[in-house]
Chain A
Amino acid sequence: MTTLLVAATDLRRRIRNRSALITAFAAPLALAVVFGVLVGGAGSGGFRIGIVDADGSHMARAMTAELTHGAPAGGTVRFAVLRSPAEARRRVDDGDVDAAVVIPAGFGAAAQAGHARSMLVLQRADRLVAGEVARAVATSVGDEIQRVALALRVLAAGGTAPSPALVQAARRQPVPISFGRIPLGGRELDAAAFYGASMSIVFLFFTISLAARSVLAERRDGTLARILATPAHPAAVLAGKTLSVAVLGLAGLLTVWAVTALAFGARWGAPGAVALVMAATVFAVGGLSLLIASLARTEQQADAYTAVVTFSLALLGGNFVGPSQMPALLRTLSLATPNGWSLTAFTDLSADAAGLGSIATALAVLLACGLVTGGVGLTRVYRGMRA
């Protein structure tokens, strides 16, 4: 009863105090969107490459058809057939496509005759990665065509004219570009989901540290003494304060999940497992935040300790770059943080690569972290309330 009363009153006050809402909801959501768009191309669906067949030869037509139909639907690289180099230039400039590959007139005949003829890649200066993708496509296709043409010429030079069937078979060879993905699992990692989880975890530290911070503030303001003068048990009061920020933190995570999924199509993975990882993350971060804040004697100290530990763990845990992009040593070290375990679980779920075992391990580690650090933190705060 006391716990729920304190939790409800604390929540009411925090909702009126908009800074808590910013920490729990607005800031992680805004940063998740910004990071997702900047780093992951959230909302763009990957790279869109234009293809211009200015040659019209059988080889060029086959190449264009293979690229446009060979790429998987909804994949990272998609191709669009454009009518002319001029249109390609205009659409690259406008940003309708990220880059374009132009197959020049006479390309097929030159290849069959053994003459070098370059394809043209158009890219914008600010879309370097897309340009590299288009260049890789052109190089790979060109190399394979040269190999087939060389084989045919070798046969011809040996006095044996290639049979029409062989020539046709060579022409029917698929364009040697494959669009497979890094086999994380069934799907590609979703940047919006990753940064949604990542930024929510960072701000969760600040949200949950409000519990211990509020004990310090209430001691300063005298309301803690007034509460302790009532029959309410101090442990129930502390539980209420912790419950209120845990609810706020979990609501923040759920909001970021809902908004990124609905507005940006972010794929977080199986909802039940995602909810479990979120709850375990709130528990782990809650414990650690309480421990950090319990070391402080003033609100200013609590803020400073929370900021230092939060950003250190965020850097180490891979919140800003993602564990998969970290060097091997740091990737291992990231598993010394609750952030690392939580992000690994969210990443696996988003990529559909999570086995029951890996998620269970992450959940167990997060719960253990919350129990140990939260236990010590709560004991320290409780003693502080009675001192």
Chain B
Amino acid sequence: MTAAPPGPALRCRRLVRRFGDRVAVDGVSFEIAAGETYGLLGPNGAGKTTTISMVAGVLAADAGDVTVRGRPIGIGAGEAKRAIGLVPQDVALYEDLTAAENLRFFGRLQGLTGPHLRSRIAEVLEVVGLEDRAGDRVSSYSGGMRRRANIAVGLLHDPALLILDEPTVGVDPQSRNQILESIETLGGAGLAVLYTTHYMEEAERLCDRVGIIDRGRIVAEGRSGTEMA
């Protein structure tokens, strides 16, 4: 991870996204400081995934702007995107490739090459406990292993901001606990984390601050475990 510039790791201002007549995200604003874990808490369909898709530059916003470490997100926003690690809600890996091959592919897309790429692959596989299965195709993995490999790809390029979209959905209790422990460790290491969930107890356990989103708007925001404004 490179040294953090002054200012927030992520700043979203008045983000809006419509799908036809439906407004999925309606003026969402929040900031995340370096080393902070921010929880976006809300029911299904509240606009969490649409918000993080705009934050990650996957989806264009109809209005508003996103800056990552002071740089705007958009097509060709290489520096800003290099600072983001995205862990989608569903396991987004090529099942017919091995975990190592998946990591190599996404690592190269992030601009990693040569010995640095190889060492990062080894490191993240160790972090998620898959170093012994690196050469196996993802199709042979259990659900929990796939989730962990999914997180490994997000961590690979040592991002300043890690975006986790409901990473524990459909995971058995043991794997869920492993994932939560990993995220606690990452948050403690200075990484800014944007974590979406609809489980209050996960938000309370992991997040420094929580924003509650409903019908595309942040309806409350505050420090975890305190009364929210």
Q: Which of A16, A17, A222 contacts B92 (CB 8 A)?
A: A222
Which of A12, A17, A228, A230 lies at the interface centre, i.e. has the most chain B CB atoms within 10 A of its CB? A230
Assuming the contacts A2-B109, A230-B110, A231-B82, asked whether A221 and B75 have C-beta atoms less than 8 A apart, the reply is no
Determine the interface band of chain A, counting residues with CB < 8 A from chain B.
20 to 34
Which of A12, A221, A222 lies at the interface centre, i.e. has the most chain B CB atoms within 10 A of its CB? A222
Min distance, Cβ A1 to any Cβ of chain B, angstroms: 8
Residue positions of A touching B, CB distance < 8 A: 2, 5, 9, 12-13, 16-17, 221-223, 225-234, 386
Interface of B, helix, strand, loop or mixed by DSSP: loop
Min distance, Cβ A199 to any Cβ of chain B, angstroms: 27
The answer to whether A226 and B92 touch across the interface, beta carbons within 8 angstroms, is: yes
The answer to whether B53 and A231 touch across the interface, beta carbons within 8 angstroms, is: no
Q: Which of B60, B77, B91 contacts A231 (CB 8 A)?
A: B77
Min distance, Cβ A20 to any Cβ of chain B, angstroms: 11
Task: For A223, give the chain B residue with the smallest CB separation.
Answer: B92
The answer to whether B153 and A17 touch across the interface, beta carbons within 8 angstroms, is: no
The answer to whether A231 and B78 touch across the interface, beta carbons within 8 angstroms, is: yes
Interface CB pairs A-B, < 8 A, 25: A2-B109, A9-B94, A12-B97, A16-B96, A221-B92, A222-B90, A222-B92, A223-B92, A223-B93, A223-B94, A225-B56, A225-B86, A226-B88, A227-B109, A229-B56, A229-B84, A229-B86, A231-B76, A231-B77, A231-B78, A231-B81, A231-B109, A231-B110, A232-B109, A233-B76
The answer to whether A13 and B94 touch across the interface, beta carbons within 8 angstroms, is: yes
Residues on B with C-beta less than 8 A from A232 are 109
Residues on B with C-beta less than 8 A from A5 are 105, 108-109
* Residue count of chain B within 8 Å CB distance of chain A: 31
The answer to whether B111 and A231 touch across the interface, beta carbons within 8 angstroms, is: yes
The answer to whether A222 and B91 touch across the interface, beta carbons within 8 angstroms, is: yes
Assuming the contacts A12-B97, A13-B97, A231-B81, asked whether A225 and B58 have C-beta atoms less than 8 A apart, the reply is yes
Assembly CA distance A16 to B137 (angstroms): 11
Q: A13-B94, A225-B92, A229-B86 are in contact. List 6 more A-B contacts (CB 8 A).
A: A2-B109, A222-B90, A223-B94, A226-B88, A226-B153, A231-B82
